[in-house]
Chain A
């Protein structure tokens, strides 16, 4: 299997404070890779290394080698001597991201997908309606909202909003999907729906997910990366070979405690 992500000795610091220290990892281009660890261990920062989103915050310094396969073989993401990476907007279009709490834009359902399509993907107006529909179908939301495309997106339920956020990222035809605790703010029912959807998407995209729940990590992850104090401490391959108790032992917390 080809690698979607190659990281070597990645360090991230904010205002001189190290958050990620010397992470090296290679993630294949299919299946779900789950990053897990206690809160504050740097897992979200590590995820944001891949789409350079850490640079939106002041005082950020990233070093190390990061290569992604965005459809044309491995390519460097960060500038280095003799290396000119893709411009940021293009990188972020190809590396889709979904956040912890659904952050739909306070515009209509249609515009939530249409605005990025028009501004980032430069989609011609004639194809717009089709591509919005396709994105909504991909996340199983089309039947729910086809009658209400021009209603404010905030009127959707939490689970629907999160699926809309996924659709917004998918509409841009990314090569990799990053998920930052995508079910942390959802109820049990909505969590199950989103997890099911992610399993289906994992057949088409490499998914890299930060998770807050041991159960989710074990059920969904094709491989687990355990982080502690900014470093990768363990890597577990294959599903269901570990129990929650063993995993919590690795993390040094009681299994019933949320991370």
Chain B
């Protein structure tokens, strides 16, 4: 039987879409590497400061991106620390315990938060500091903790949604089987449902992580600066890779500086990939423990 023309067209389109995706990603990484890779030397990270002194912060690094790397890592870590518990917890509540009415209400609030542009979140953080200054804490200032809190708000909806979806994807037959064995709802959650949905929840954490590493709009209002040295404390200003890329792109003086910007972008990409691999590694270890063998 001859296939209808529309089916051929559909198959062609279905084949083209992934090819297009590969070409786009390839071009992006290729271009970044072509411009950025030649600048990937120790001097990109530490400038003219001796490596060990720069690494430990014994001497300030003036024209290298190491402080920005450290700033990004601290910021992402702190953001996850603040966001994972409430995000995953809220997802669990929505999937397992909430009544339909509360599901609607909380789900709506989470969707609204998800639709919030990051610049608005930054402005929110900034106005919060202004409010604090004029009321209870006249010395309050923008810094790492404020930036991480605002970023946590930004990534919270991703964590809630992926946790909820992962739990709701567990077939009802398994819930019933666990109940029929005599597991209490809490045991059922901790020993059956969460281990099964850990992959989905892990995926949400990775997404949140990427979002926190790349965002510039939020931190621009809440404490990032071009030159701060290594992150010093929760209330201090800090540097970050995403802001340093933005700053370089806007203010570069010569071609060499622009190329260093490409190098910085490549480093940010590398850090994101590294964090992603770390998350996968942890998750696989966890899965091996439960599922065993070749799963």
Contact = CB atoms under 8 A, between A and B. Distances in A.
Contacts of B177: 99, 103, 105, 165
B82 interface: no
Contact of A105 (B184, B196, B294, B295): B196
Contacts of B294: 151-152
Interface stretch (B16-24, B155-163, B285-293): B285-293
Contact of A103 (B173, B183, B291): B173
A93 B181 contact: yes
B179 A107 contact: no
A81 B196 CA distance: 41
Interface stretch (A15-23, A115-123, A238-246, A249-257): A115-123
Interface stretch (B39-47, B49-57, B187-195, B230-238): B187-195
Contact of A152 (B174, B191, B293): B293
Contacts of B293: 108, 148, 150-152
A79 B150 CA distance: 51
Interface in A108-129: 108-111, 115-116, 118-120
Determine which residue in B171, B174, B178, B181 has the highest number of CB atoms from chain A within 10 A of its CB, and name it.
B181
B184 A89 contact: yes
A51 B176 CA distance: 12
B180 interface: yes
Nearest to A92: B182
B192 to A, nearest CB: 6
A56 interface: yes
11 contacts: A53-B176, A89-B182, A103-B173, A106-B174, A111-B291, A115-B191, A116-B182, A120-B187, A148-B293, A168-B181, A169-B181
A8 interface: no
A119 B292 CA distance: 19
Contact of B291 (A56, A120, A152): A152
A225 B183 CA distance: 30
Interface of A: 51, 53, 56, 88-93, 97, 99, 101, 103, 105-111, 115-116, 118-120, 148-152, 165, 168-169, 172
Contacts of A109: 292
Contacts of B171: 103
B179 A92 contact: yes
Contacts of B195: 107
Contacts of B174: 103, 105-106
A150 B292 contact: yes
Given A103-B174, A119-B187, A92 B196 contact: no
Contacts of A115: 191-192
Interface of B: 171, 173-184, 187, 191-192, 195-196, 290-295
Contacts of B180: 51, 53, 92, 97, 99
Contacts of A106: 174, 196, 291
Contacts of B295: 152
B100 to A, nearest CB: 10
B292 A116 contact: no
Closest 5 CB pairs of A and B: A150-B292, A108-B292, A92-B182, A93-B182, A89-B182
A99 B173 CA distance: 9
B183 A116 contact: yes
Given A93-B182, A116-B182, A107 B173 contact: no
A88 B188 CA distance: 14
A164 to B, nearest CB: 11
A11 B64 CA distance: 77
Given A105-B174, A108-B291, A56 B183 contact: no
Contact of A107 (B175, B181, B187, B291): B291
A119 B295 CA distance: 24
Contact of B182 (A108, A120, A148): A120
A105 B182 contact: no
Contacts of A151: 292-294
A150 B293 CA distance: 6
B143 to A, nearest CB: 44
